[in-house]
Amino acid sequence: MAVTMAENRMLNLALRALQVICAIVVMGTDGYAINVYRGYSSHVDTHWGGFTAWNGVPNAWGFLLFCAAWTVLVVIFQLVAGNALTHRPLVGYISVAVEVVALISWFAGWIAVAVNIGTRACATGYVGCGALKAATVFGAVEWLLFMVTTFLAISLFLNSKRQGQAVA
């Protein structure tokens, strides 16, 4: 069952289209939250003296934006490499590695942004907090989509490897 699903081109295209759509939504919502974010300053006292620290946009928000941009490149690579997967084993290894890295990146990205919700960075009443919550939800959906495509890529790679060994 999994092998026939992995070889189904229409399923692959539909999942890749959903990944690009979710990535575009994350780029828009997270980009908006970053754009309207107003940093805050905090006074820090140390035994050497005091200073005022400026706290800008949290790094997790930028990382989620990177994950969305990275997804577009991953989808383009996977669509191009999909045809060469059965003929070149190195492309198969790279394809699976790219899927796994994207999967881990999305998991880390949406979790890191979800941790910021409700803190001082995204306090109640903050203008961009709703957009950031939407970006987190779509990031989690993107992670689930990558769970499916990673499973399909690994099963297709292992199946093509078995077929190549049986022929040789």
For 5-17, the pLDDT digits (tens) are 445 788 889 999 9
Find out whether 64 and 112 touch, Cβ atoms under 8 Å: yes
Distance CA 80, CA 15 (A): 15
DSSP conformation class of 82: T
Domain ranges in the chain are: 2-36+57-163
CB count within 10 Å of CB 62 equals 15
Q: What pLDDT score does 5 carry? A: 47
Determine which helix (DSSP H) or strand (DSSP E) holds 37, and give its type and residue range: none
Residues 6+ apart with CB under 8 A from 137: none
Task: Quick: pLDDT tens for 78-123.
Answer: 888 776 555 677 888 888 999 999 999 999 999 999 998 877 767 6
Query: Of 86-95, 123-132, 145-154, which has the strongest mean pLDDT?
Result: 145-154
64 pLDDT more than 60: yes
What pTM, to 2 d.p., does this model score?
0.81
Give mean pLDDT, residues 140-145. 97
Find out whether 85 and 91 touch, Cβ atoms under 8 Å: yes
| C-alpha distances in Å from residue 146, one per residue of 10, 95, 98, 103, 110 | 16, 13, 11, 5, 13
152 pLDDT more than 80: yes
- Classified as helix, coil or strand, 41 is strand
71 pLDDT more than 80: yes
CB count within 10 Å of CB 138 equals 23
